[in-house]
Amino acid sequence: MRIRQVLLPVIVLAFSVSSCSRKDALEGEKPYKDITPAEVKARLEKGNKLVILDVRTKEEYESQTGHLPRAILIPVQEIEERYHELDSLTSKEIVAYCRSGVRSARASKFLGDKGFKVLNMVGGITAWNEMKGDTVKTRKGRE
């Protein structure tokens, strides 16, 4: 009985430490960081020179949803062929976004693996619009 009282807490503690270590190791493998729309907005308002990268399709970029001001459009489907267009920006932070944050996470991983400083905007343009961030709407999007 005494052995069980001593061993059980030790086993639980060892499992907890092991779980944290695996989680930390997995998070350490991610070559980009996540950023919220509110953090992006605050940085832009402070004058930070962020590169804004929209990885949605051209149709989404031009839709009623709009896009962030000064956004560069490189759809995620084209990122592997076109990422060299960003070569002059390797020293700058790039904020990648899509509709919800899934495609931009994929693009962020790819660019991060290529040596870019990438921030993935979690929640994408959907979250940006929910917090009433500035967007640009093209003529096509206003029709």
Write out the E strands in 1-143: 33-35, 51-54, 72-73, 93-97, 117-121
User: Looking at the annotation, which residues are catalytic?
Assistant: 98
Considering the domain architecture, whether residues 57 and 115 belong to the same structural domain is answered as yes
How many domains in the chain?
2
pLDDT for the residue 5: 58
| pTM score | 0.78
Considering the domain architecture, whether residues 4 and 53 belong to the same structural domain is answered as no
Considering the domain architecture, whether residues 53 and 107 belong to the same structural domain is answered as yes
The CATH number of the domain holding residue 79 is 3.40.250.10
pLDDT for the residue 140: 54
Considering the domain architecture, whether residues 88 and 105 belong to the same structural domain is answered as yes
- One-letter amino acid identity for 130? E
Considering the domain architecture, whether residues 81 and 37 belong to the same structural domain is answered as yes
* pLDDT averages per 10-residue partition of the chain, 143 residues: 54 46 55 97 96 98 96 98 96 97 98 97 97 84 42
Domain that includes residue 54, residue range: 31-142
- Please, which residues have CB within 8 angstroms of residue 74's CB and are 6 or more apart in sequence? 53, 54, 55, 82, 83, 85, 86, 107
Considering the domain architecture, whether residues 94 and 43 belong to the same structural domain is answered as yes
